[in-house]
Structure 1
Amino acid sequence: MGSARWYTVRLLTKLDENNSYSNILLDESLSRSDFDKRDKKFIAALFYGVIERRLTLDAIIVDLSKNPKSKLNYTLRNILRCGLYQLKYMDSVPDNAAVDESVELAKKCRNPAAPGFTNGLLREFIRRSKELPKTNSETERLALEYSCPEWLVKKWSFEYGKDRCLSLLKTSLGQAPTTIKVNNLSGGIEDTLDMLIADGVTFERSKILEYAVNVANAGAIEKTEAYRQGKFHVQDIASQLCCKALDPQPGDIVLDLCSAPGGKTFTIAEMMNNEGKVLAFDLHPNRVKLIRSGAERLGLTCVTADVNNAKIFNSDIPVADKVLVDAPCSGLGVIRRKPEIKYKDPSEFDRLPEIQGDILDTASKYVKANGTLVYSTCTVSKAENDDVIRKFLGSHKDFVPAEDEETFMQTITPDMYGSDGFFIAKLKRLG
């Protein structure tokens, strides 16, 4: 297990140095490694755990050390983070093992003082009964307890109220569910579920969507025989609800303007019984290839994928019955899948509403009279959601809410369906 801990420290250090995506870095690294299943599970748990609890772990380091965090090099800092995470959050690891293994890792550092420093800091944390540092306000307490930056705690509390904010904080931690959309065009759902059972996958069918299934013990779900045969694709239930809101019908012309990697495109085509046209677009050629290969695997011949800039009107694209804009966003609804998002500088999100508004404005030009326009994001931020829609409706009098004022916009929080955080707005173009 010692080498697994060192491997995790090196991955975390690489993440710090290169600002990579955590999921891509881990998946690619483990796929090339020769660790057994048990070690890979431990590495993944420690790697993601340290990232999602980083703010809290760094606060503990500062509280227990006279040296500012900035004076610790990346490697030693990650050794301490891993040791503290095991002590505080991994009940399966004995305290002595967490300390002793961390000290052994510290010996790999070039600083001869590192082992003693590591031993002293971790044992002091144990002597203090593993308590978190004291805070001066409720906002600071919540930020420390849930390892969430104070600006985001304040934002969610102001925009959604204290109760919903607390729910968002609680559901921002831990493992996100893996949900699949069963391909209703590829045999009966029971056949697909039987194939998953044969591959050792356990599951629970959704109570709100017929073809949504939460899976567990799946490992690499893409390696199952059912996946290879095009029996399903992976898609969070919130995204499936987004497609339900669009309500595509057989024979429709549907545009998915920000499609890659294609999950919504696939669900839309399946809902249309593969009858009609689904035109899927993305800005990047490599991501367009993902859409094409996914549609081919699922047997969706009504799907066409091509490169297009969603911000710029393209006269070659036909007007459509239904248009979906799943806009680029801050991703604050998928923090438990990509925990590094919450550590970004919030100023990085400032221009997003303008970009989203431009894409929505362009998308509206493709909607037929009496057609439907659905705008969605995987974020929980009124600036990127409600405000974008209100501004759009204020400047586009030919569009109205497709439903009543209370229901045409919906913010989905993870506690509602066990999904990602998500936003859906459904608009109609007047005839």
Structure 2
Amino acid sequence: MGELPVVVVGAGPTGLAAAAHLTERGLTPLVLEAGDGPGWTVSQWHHVRLFSPWSELIDPAAERLLKSSGWTAPDVGAYPTGSEWVSSYLQPLATLLTGQIRYGARVTGVARHGRDRLVDVGRETAPLTVYTATAGGTRRITAQAIIDASGTWTTPNPLGGDGLPALGEPEARDRITYRIPDLANASVRERFTGRRVAVAGSGHSALTALVALADLARDHPGTEILWLLRRGAVGNVFGGGGEDQLPARGALGLRAKAAAVDGHVRTVTGFRTANVDRDPDGRLVLNSFDGHRLEPVDGVVVLTGFRPDLSWLSEVRLDLDPVLQAPRALAPLIDPNVHSCGTVYPHGAAELVQPEPRVYLVGMKSYGRAPTFLALTGYEQVRSVVAAIAGDDDAARRVELTLPETGVCGGTGVFDEPVGSDSSGCCGPAGPVQISLTGSVAG
């Protein structure tokens, strides 16, 4: 078993950090990446600037490996874009791991060698088999352990307010995007300039989109933005502001909260989309579950979070929280009804262990549907998990990380009590929230 590789699914920041830790401990990593290069999903949001500085975006084991090759670290106090994170860190790291990464290899299944999930005998000692779809066909790989760092980027949550696509949503994909728009791209910018656009979501991605679109609206009269919130009031959606220990994250919320006189952004609270219709001109008309109907919009930016793809793990035994789809022991620490990311203490193998021996979900995938994941969290997870795989139980149990607090205490209020008569919900008075912001900072 010890001669087999440890398969890491995903060549993003967490997956490559896992490979660096495995290499440092003398284990053989085999990283399987569905995309055509390292940090493929990060490259999809290349234009977005992170709210974590370089000092919190570089894994310690990866840094040691990089520095041994003469790599020069970026300015630790600077805030990179997604593109810079890839070019200055992930690409050089992947180059050092050449031969241990397979691109264009999409994992389609994981099982215990020669056993389906019903078989008890031999699960502790038998290796794992990993099936991949490649340009050359389906391949099967034998592994001693699996570290699933595949993330959640490819499975964004829908616009529909009940967790399923709204009626008409799939047919309206020509006017719906599930990514932060890159307004530096002329063709993308043209799609939003002078248009009425709805932004659905309340997290950092939604705030980032509002910042960028508010700038566009300020420079191009006629551009109008509707901000759709599922909660009944704005509440603490803007975060901890000056109390946030990540200053750029706090600044993002403060900027999004700042009222201006122009009135380019209007909030619609308590709106949970049920149907997407079209008007005679082809524009989209959104309807809520309580019967509220919005004026037609030219496009919708859906930034309502992500969820894990568990389909290819159906033949291994997982113990996941029924609400978050996160490892059961981790779920109470990250439940958005209770916690923000600043109240989640560091965790590792003990919280991530599964009934299936030597199978671990890490990184964004480990958070299931919970938001506010930090790169630092993923790096600590893989340090502990790799230590456990290597048999170093003392190192696996140690906590070697302090997370920056958000300045937000308590839950995010993912669902509110019924909107009262004095509320600013969609069916009551809805005053505009105006945004006057510069720059684009996001997580």
Larger radius of gyration: 1
TM-score, structure 2 as length reference: 0.25
**Greater helix share, structure number:** 1
TM-score, structure 1 as length reference: 0.26
Q: Which has the higher contact order (CA 8 A, sep 6+)?
A: 2
